[in-house]
Each structure stands twice: as structure tokens, then as C-alpha cells.
Amino acid sequence: MPLYLDEIYFNVASKDDFRKVYDLINGVVTNGFPPGVTLMAGPWASNEDAKIVLVLDIKDHALTFPAFSGAIAQGIVARRRLSPMVDWATFEKSVKSS
């Protein structure tokens, strides 16, 4: 399963902007992600940055581009950091085979 840590940073200048972030993320969580994307954990809101953190199983991350670019075009999303992850057993196997 291809897991990704998805950190989405938002442009937040007012309380109304926080509501827009909530509505955007809650809508995706409630109505579903793009095809081939499954929420594995989260969402979590950072108490230090205007960002939401999710763990996603993404079969093809190119499929997330239309939704993500639309949020950027609306001005609500500042940037995204998508980091691929492997489980500990995969990491351990790699270390032991070296």
C-alpha cells in the first residue's frame, strides 16, 4: 500500500478563513477523496501552523492534482508537502539486507 504523509498549508488571515479550511477538509472527508485515494489516518490540525495533516493511501498521486490545484486557485491553499512513507518492517528489511 503506497502511504503518504500529506501536509497541506493554508492561507489563513481571519477567522472566516479557518471556517473555509474546515469546510474544505470536512467536505472531502465526508464526501470522499478522488478515486484511488483512501484516508488512513487523520485529519489532524496543527496548533503551530495553518496546516492539516493526513495519512493517505494514494494509488496515483496525479489523480489528486485537479482537486488540489482547484484549492490553490481559490487562494485557500498555500502549499502541500506530500511525503512517501514505508512501514517499519519494510525499513527493517532494507537495513538487514544491506
| Cβ atoms of 83 and 5 closer than 8 Å | yes
Closest CA to 52 of 66, 63, 42, 67: 42
Identify the pLDDT of residue 53.
Answer: 97
Identify the pLDDT of residue 70.
Answer: 87
Domain coordinates of the chain in residue numbers?
Answer: 3-97
Residue 64 host element (H or E): none
pTM of the model: 0.86
Identify the pLDDT of residue 17.
Answer: 92
The architecture CATH gives domain 3-97: 2-Layer Sandwich (3.30)
Q: What is the mean pLDDT of each run of 10 residues along the chain (98 residues)?
A: 92 93 93 91 95 95 86 91 92 89
Neighbours of 41 (CB within 10 A): 11
Identify the pLDDT of residue 22.
Answer: 94
